[in-house]
């Protein structure tokens, strides 16, 4: 008589795990913190002793030597305690964190220094600096006598016009590049890549020669500056929109086409609404990229110390252009005014980047309905069963 053994009753004892395999804990162990801290202290003491004996000075060289000595000492300790694999894992982790800090510290230092120098000027008589213009600017005028109001208006109008010109064209170009693989699409993609890496001054010179020179001094307007910003903004929006549209599942468009909808209708009603969160993020990133450019508006806007609400007539001011002009003016107060305008510019750019991150953190796809330009009630009435 044969006895049948059910597979569920079999129990296989777990095999021993390799002792040298690194296991990444969720929280940082106390031993790791002690080892890293001790290695850092030893590295600082060793490099300081070597620099003192040799008579070497220099903060940058000292910092580089400390980092190298720390990695060497910590690597030896991990190798003796945990093995080769754990040593490689921890050294790679430290290298990644070190690279992130090296890139992060200068960025924070620049932003913090601009805030430190400009916040006192902007908030001296709040909100006067946001409303006044530069008509009363002299070498001896106090910082409270002028403001960045005209530059703020010019920046908003120029960037707004550039966005109005660029976003539809960039999204249409990105949609074409995603849906086509022919020779013309490859050529357009190469041109977009070339425009992305081109210097900002090229866009300013292009519009200057094409638009400003034929009209001479009357050609320097906010509209000309918006055209120059559009040339810079177009490849950024196109490339970012292309990446967003390409990750939309193709089954959505195929289902729409299978139901009898034409390609243009599937694109407008299914593809673009599904990717709308990413498209908005691409638009905001493009705006933040061109809002702080000086070279494109240097040849096209002209600069104007007073308010000019009409971007199609007369010279117009701009935040980056105003900073550029203030730093060449005589007097200490004009330099402080430049720091105040720079603070406003950094505040605008940081706000746009934070807004882009918040929008980009949302999940892509339709939220409730997929037709953003129609009312919810109308959509629900069409979808309700008869």
313 is written with which tokens?
Answer: 């007539």
Distance CA(211)–CA(223), nearest Å, equals 10
pLDDT mean over 282-296: 88
The per-residue pLDDT for 371 is 43
Inter-axis angle of helices 149-179 and 183-196, to 10 degrees?
Answer: 150
Q: Please, which pLDDT band fits residue 215 given cuts at 50, 70 and 90?
A: confident
pLDDT band at residue 86 under the 50/70/90 scheme? confident
pLDDT band at 373 (very low <50, low <70, confident <90, very high): very low
| Highest CATH level, class, for 148-371 | mainly alpha
> Residue 239's pLDDT is what?
92
362-386: b or e for each residue (b if 16 or more CB lie within 10 Å)?
eebeeeeebeeeeeeeeeeeeeeee
For 256-282, what is the mean pLDDT? 86
**Residue 230 pLDDT exceeds 60:** yes
pLDDT tier, 10 (very low <50, low <70, confident <90, very high otherwise): very low
pLDDT score, position 264: 85
Confidence tier at 101 by pLDDT (50, 70, 90): confident
Measure the CA–CA gap between 164 and 311, rounded to whole angstroms: 14
**pLDDT tens digit string along 134-165?**
888 877 778 778 888 899 999 999 999 999 99
Spatial CA neighbour of 142 closest among 348, 322, 337, 349: 337
- pLDDT tens, residue by residue, 38-76: 888 999 999 999 888 888 888 888 888 998 899 899 989
**Residue/partner pairs of 192-198 with CB below 8 Å, 24 or more apart:** 192/235, 192/238, 192/239, 193/235, 193/239, 195/231, 195/234, 195/235, 196/235, 196/236, 196/239
Among 90-94, 136-140, 168-172, the range scoring the smallest mean pLDDT is: 136-140
29-39 pLDDT per residue, tens: 777 888 888 88
Q: In Å, what is the CA distance from 114 to each residue of 168, 298, 347?
A: 35, 22, 10
Which ranges in the chain are annotated with CATH 1.10.3720.10? Answer: 148-371
Whole-angstrom distance between the N-terminal and C-terminal Cα of the chain? Answer: 67
Are 225 and 301 in contact by the 8 Å Cβ rule? The answer is yes
- Is residue 227 within 8 Å of 165, Cβ to Cβ? yes
pLDDT band at 364 (very low <50, low <70, confident <90, very high): low
Q: Within 13 Å, how many C-alpha atoms sit on residue 114's CB side?
A: 17
Residue 333's Cβ-count burial label (10 Å; 0-12, 13-18, 19+) is buried
**Rg of the chain over CA atoms, in angstroms?**
29
Average predicted confidence (pLDDT) for the chain: 83
Arithmetic mean of pLDDT, 350-370: 66
How does pLDDT run across 108-122, given as a tens digit for each residue?
999 999 999 999 888
| pLDDT, position 25 | 58
pLDDT at 31: 78
The Cβ-side half-sphere exposure at 204, using a 13 Å CA radius, reads 18
């Amino acid at each position: 008589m044969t006895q049948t053994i059910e597979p569920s009753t079999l129990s296989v004892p777990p095999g021993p795990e390799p002792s040298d395999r690194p296991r990444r804990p969720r929280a940082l162990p106390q031993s790791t913190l002690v080892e890293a801290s001790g290695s850092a202290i030893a590295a600082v003491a060793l490099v300081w002793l070597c620099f003192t004996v040799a008579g070497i000075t220099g903060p940058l060289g000292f910092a580089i030597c400390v980092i190298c000595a720390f990695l060497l000492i910590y690597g030896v300790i991990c190798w003796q305690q945990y093995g080769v694999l754990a040593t490689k894992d921890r050294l790679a982790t430290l290298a990644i964190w070190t690279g992130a800090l090296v890139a992060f510290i200068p960025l924070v230092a620049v932003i913090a220094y601009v805030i430190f120098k400009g916040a006192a000027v902007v908030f001296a008589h709040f909100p006067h600096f946001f409303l006044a213009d530069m008509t009363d600017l002299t070498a001896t005028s106090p910082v409270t006598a002028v403001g960045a109001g005209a530059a703020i208006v010019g920046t908003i109008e120029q960037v707004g016009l550039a966005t109005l010109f660029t976003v539809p064209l960039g999204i249409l170009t990105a949609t074409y590049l995603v849906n086509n693989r022919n020779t013309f699409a490859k050529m357009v993609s190469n041109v977009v890549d070339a425009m992305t890496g081109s210097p900002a001054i090229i866009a300013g010179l292009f519009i200057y020669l094409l638009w400003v020179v034929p009209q001479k001094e009357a050609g320097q307007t906010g509209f000309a500056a918006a055209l120059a910003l559009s040339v810079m903004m177009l490849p950024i929006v196109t490339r970012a929109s292309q990446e967003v549209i390409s990750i939309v599942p193709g089954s959505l468009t195929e289902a729409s086409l299978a139901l009898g909808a034409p390609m243009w209708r599937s694109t407008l009603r299914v593809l673009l609404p599904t990717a709308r969160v990413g498209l908005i993020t691409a638009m905001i990133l493009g705006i933040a990229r061109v809002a702080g450019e000086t070279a494109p508006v240097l040849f096209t806007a002209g600069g104007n110390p007073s308010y000019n609400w009409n971007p199609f007539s007369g010279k117009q001011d701009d935040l980056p252009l105003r900073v550029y002009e203030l730093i060449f003016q005589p007097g200490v107060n004009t330099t402080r005014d430049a720091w105040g305008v720079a603070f406003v510019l950094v505040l605008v750019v940081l706000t746009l980047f934070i807004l882009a991150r918040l929008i980009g953190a949302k999940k892509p796809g339709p939220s409730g309905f997929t037709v953003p330009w129609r009312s919810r009630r109308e959509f629900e009435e069409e979808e309700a069963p008869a």
